[in-house]
Amino acid sequence: MTVESENIKHSVVETLPLLRPIERGDSLVMLGSCFAQYMGERMAADGFEVMVNPLGTLFNPFSIAATVRTALDEDAHFPLFAADGEWRCWLANTRFRASTPEELAGILKERYSALRDALLTARHLVLTLGTNVCYRTDYADPSAGGSVSDIVVTNCQRQPDRLFREWRASLGEVTDELQGMLNILLKRNPSLQVILTVSPYRYHKYGYHGSQLSKATLLLAEEQLVRLFPCNCCYFPAYEILLDELRDYRFYAPDGHHPGDEAVDVIWERFSKQIK
């Protein structure tokens, strides 16, 4: 049976108001997947004071939590390692590298210090979760006598696959990790509004079913965080707008997985309605 196009109703995803609107002059921090980068660029272009992923893209909740915890701890040690004649950090993008550990530590300390100042003065923090799939490696901490710990890396730094163990965090693990991070952050910035989102990007390398299971884990975790922090946390449905409202492939980039410019325009238009 053929269904005439005029009989097909266009779905519109409900966008609930934030706990409080974003006002001109408000400062924001945006952390998370590449979608956070897209939206952060729109915020900056619209004249907002916004810091976006100062240590690089953060794909999973544990990397986001580690970045925030490290920023808030002025005595934190950075997990540095040497590879190919350079020093790098497991909690930073590949562009952060130096010829000595002291030089790299200085660069990272400056970045994390700026992030700490931004987190403690921001009115809004936007967290965009991409996947619950994490990669772990063994790290020997020289500041702890060379003791080895198991850490989740932010970036695999183009190192051999044999160094990493893939791990899919459960709903409870994701919720607990972000809850612990928010407990620390909100004690120091109790008026902060945390806007939770899930990236619309689909991680096809894990399989489409696997990608959906990952997104479901993140969506459920964010729902629990909204309930745990009703005065600080709210949800913006970027994921649903693209998948349930903008369902045509013309809204995707040529790779068929990333949101295209038109989709980002639509989601930005919906998000900008929260600006007072």
| The residue type at 63 | S
- Provide the sign of the torsion angle of the four alpha carbons 274, 46, 71, 67, taken in this order: positive
Strands 147-152 and 124-129: unpaired
The per-residue pLDDT for range 35-93, each reduced to its tens digit, is 788 888 888 888 889 999 999 999 999 999 999 999 999 998 899 999 989 999 999 99
Please state, in angstroms and rounded to a whole number, the distance separating the CA atoms of residues 118 and 116.
5
- Percentage of the chain beyond pLDDT 70 is 86
Query: Among candidates 29, 148, 153, 161, which has minimal Cα distance to 91?
Result: 153
pLDDT category of residue 6 using cuts at 50, 70 and 90 = very low
Average pLDDT of the segment spanning 165-189: 97
pLDDT at position 19 is: 93
Q: Tell me how crowded residue 176 is: count the other CB atoms within 10 A of its CB.
A: 16
The per-residue pLDDT for range 10-37, each reduced to its tens digit, is 577 778 789 999 998 899 999 998 778 8
Q: Which two tokens stand for residue 111?
A: 């970045």
**Which pTM value belongs to this model?**
0.87
- Which domains does the chain possess? 16-74+115-133+169-272 (3.40.50.1110)
Whether the CB-CB separation of 208 and 202 falls below 8 Å is answered with yes
Q: How far is CA 196 from the centre of its chain?
A: 9
